[in-house]
A and B are shown apart, each in its own frame.
Chain A
Amino acid sequence: QAVLTQPSSLSASPGASASLTCTLRSDINVGSYRIYWYQQKPGSPPQYLLRYKSDSDKQQGSGVPSRFSGSKDASANAGILLISGLQSEDEADYYCMIWHSSAVVFGGGTKLTVL
């Protein structure tokens, strides 16, 4: 079982909200981890969006709009990236990441389509 699991794709309409999930393997407690989120558009390297561990331990990337936010669903053992007020420019691949056992682990990524 992968350490981090993301749905491969998600579609949402302009102006709506999109909730991207990053589920941790069952033996890893999401409450113990900072979840990092990156956005990647075709032909470009990823860009850091934000990190979230708790409401008191979170950070927004430089220049990242406040309509991008992080949270957790402890019952699902998952980190969540919420994008509100979707815009066409938000269409991209989104990757979650954690630092686990002295190594970086990326999720498989979610392709977000805005249509």
Chain B
Amino acid sequence: QVQLQESGPGLVKPSETLSLTCTVSGGSISSYYWSWIRQPAGKGLEWIGRISTSGSTNYNPSLKNRVTMSVDTSKNQFSLKLSSVTAADTAMYYCARDVGGTNHALFDSWGQGTLVTVSS
């Protein structure tokens, strides 16, 4: 069964860039889309975007200008960069496997999440 694990700094300063990596184990990263989803404490889910192993991306329009995603198939990893962060970006960040395909999305496996706090 595929497992996902997020990693990265838990504290980021305002205006800096948040960088997270998701490592996939128990299966190949190929042939699927890979998403990032976040959740502020006590609030709902917000999809950040996704990337395929061919490098195709879809981003949340509200975050598009600040988001960059990449994938490293040799390491079975994919990554998120979110620039110019503010306190509003403080949240639990989840990575997830998306088996929905080009015109659908279905998250069947999730990481446990990593808490990122934006503060000076």
What is A's interface to B at a CB cutoff of 8 Å? 34, 36, 38, 40, 44-48, 51, 61-62, 95, 97, 99, 101-109
Picked from B44, B60, B110, B111, the residue with its CB within 8 Å of the CB of A103 is B60
Tell me whether chain A's interface is mostly helix, strand or loop, or mixed: strand
Cβ–Cβ contact B44 & A45, under 8 A: no
Residues of B within 8 A of A62 (CB): 108
| Chain B residues touching A, range | 20 to 34
Q: Would A99 and B110 count as touching, CB distance under 8 A?
A: no
- B105: A residues at CB distance < 8 A: 36, 97, 99, 104
* Alpha-carbon distance between A47 and B99 when the two chains are bound, in angstroms: 14
Q: A34-B104, A99-B104, A103-B58 are known contacts. Are A46 and B47 too (CB-CB below 8 A)?
A: no
User: Which of B44, B59, B104 makes the CB contact (< 8 A) with A109?
Assistant: B44
The residues of B that contact A45 with a CB separation of less than 8 Å are 94, 96, 110-113
Q: Which residues of A contact B45 (CB under 8 A)?
A: 38, 40, 46, 95, 106, 109
Q: Is B35 an interface residue (CB 8 A)?
A: yes
Q: Does the CB pair B113–A99 fall under 8 Å?
A: no
Most A CB within 10 A of own CB, among B47, B94, B104, B105? B105
Chain B residues with Cβ below 8 Å from A38 are: 45, 107
- The reply on B61 being an interface residue by CB < 8 A is yes
| Nearest CB on B from A16, distance (A) | 25
Contact A99 B112 (CB under 8 A): no
User: Do residues A51 and B106 form an inter-chain contact, with CB atoms below 8 A?
Assistant: yes
Is B47 a contact partner of A105 (Cβ separation < 8 A)? yes
Query: Told that A36-B106, A45-B96 touch, could you supply 6 new A-B pairs with CB distance under 8 A?
Result: A38-B45, A38-B107, A44-B112, A61-B108, A99-B103, A99-B104
B46–A106 CB distance below 8 A: yes
Q: How far, in whole Å, are A62 and B44 apart by their CA atoms in the complex?
A: 24
B23 to chain A, nearest CB (A): 15
A-B contact pairs, 15 of them (CB 8 A): A38-B45, A45-B110, A48-B106, A48-B108, A95-B45, A97-B105, A99-B104, A103-B59, A103-B61, A104-B35, A104-B58, A106-B44, A107-B44, A109-B44, A109-B45
